[in-house]
């Protein structure tokens, strides 16, 4: 691989990570907006601190950190940052695969204010449920939404995994080329 292809790879990795960093900023901002306005309740009554706003803040922050490592590692040709970027992407990819497996295995056990609504609790609904007594069960809604959007969810998941694998491949390739270039120059 020549110097021109190394520069091309370096800038492709930089611009894609810059794009993901900007997306991470938008997700983080949206999460902060949700936290401030607090229009949405908790996702699972067993985890009262897991709100939609908190999830967006965490996901946006992770995307920003990983994309920052990819941007700086590629533009500065820093092997340590590139390997950190690679390792974090690998951890995220493994976590996504684990989460997908768990969602398919334990989909019956996910609860959100009961399966049928607030009437599922004999002693009254937990504090995380809306105060309206005629709230429908969100498990049925989530299941229906998941089944009606299964194709789109699958396509998005595959695209995200392909992008992550490409990012990991580019980072390793750039890392190896930095070594070869350093040896050729004599550093």
pLDDT in tens, 17-52: 999 999 999 999 988 988 888 666 555 666 667 777
Q: How confident is the model at residue 49, as a pLDDT?
A: 72
How much is the mean pLDDT over the chain? 78
Contacts of 82 (CB under 8 A, 6+ apart): 69, 70, 73, 74, 171, 172, 174, 175, 178
User: How far is it, in rounded angstroms, from Cα 87 to Cα 93?
Assistant: 10
Q: How confident is the model at residue 39, as a pLDDT?
A: 60
Which comes out higher in pLDDT, residue 39 or 154?
154
pLDDT tens sequence across 103-123: 666 546 444 565 566 666 677
Taking every pair of C-alpha atoms in the chain, what is the biggest distance, in angstroms? 75
Contacts of 53 (CB under 8 A, 6+ apart): 31, 32, 33, 34, 35, 38, 40
Which comes out higher in pLDDT, residue 22 or 179?
22
Whether the CA torsion 73, 11, 157, 52 is positive or negative: it is: positive
Q: How confident is the model at residue 145, as a pLDDT?
A: 67
User: How far is it, in rounded angstroms, from Cα 15 to Cα 77?
Assistant: 14
Helices (H) and strands (E) in the chain, counts: 5, 2
Extract the tokens encoding 181. Answer: 């270039």
Percent of the chain predicted with pLDDT > 70: 67
The tokens 């969100």 sit on which residue? 138
């Amino acid at each position: 691989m020549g110097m021109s292809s190394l520069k091309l790879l370096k800038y492709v990795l930089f611009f894609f990570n810059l794009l993901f960093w900007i997306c991470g900023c938008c997700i983080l901002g949206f999460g902060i907006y949700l936290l401030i306005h607090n229009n949405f309740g908790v996702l699972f009554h067993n985890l009262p601190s897991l709100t939609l706003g908190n999830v967006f803040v965490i996901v946006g922050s992770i995307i920003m950190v990983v994309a920052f490592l990819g941007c700086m590692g590629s533009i500065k040709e820093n092997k340590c940052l590139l390997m950190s970027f690679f390792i974090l992407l690998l951890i995220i990819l493994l976590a996504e695969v684990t989460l997908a497996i768990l969602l398919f295995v334990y989909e019956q056990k996910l609860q959100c204010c009961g399966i049928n609504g607030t009437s599922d609790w004999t002693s009254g609904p937990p504090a995380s449920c809306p105060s309206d007594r005629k709230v429908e069960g969100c498990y049925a809604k989530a299941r229906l939404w998941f089944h009606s959007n299964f194709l789109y969810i699958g396509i998005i998941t595959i695209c995200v995994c392909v992008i992550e694998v490409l990012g990991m491949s580019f980072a390793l390739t750039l890392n190896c080329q930095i070594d070869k270039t350093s040896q050729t120059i004599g550093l």
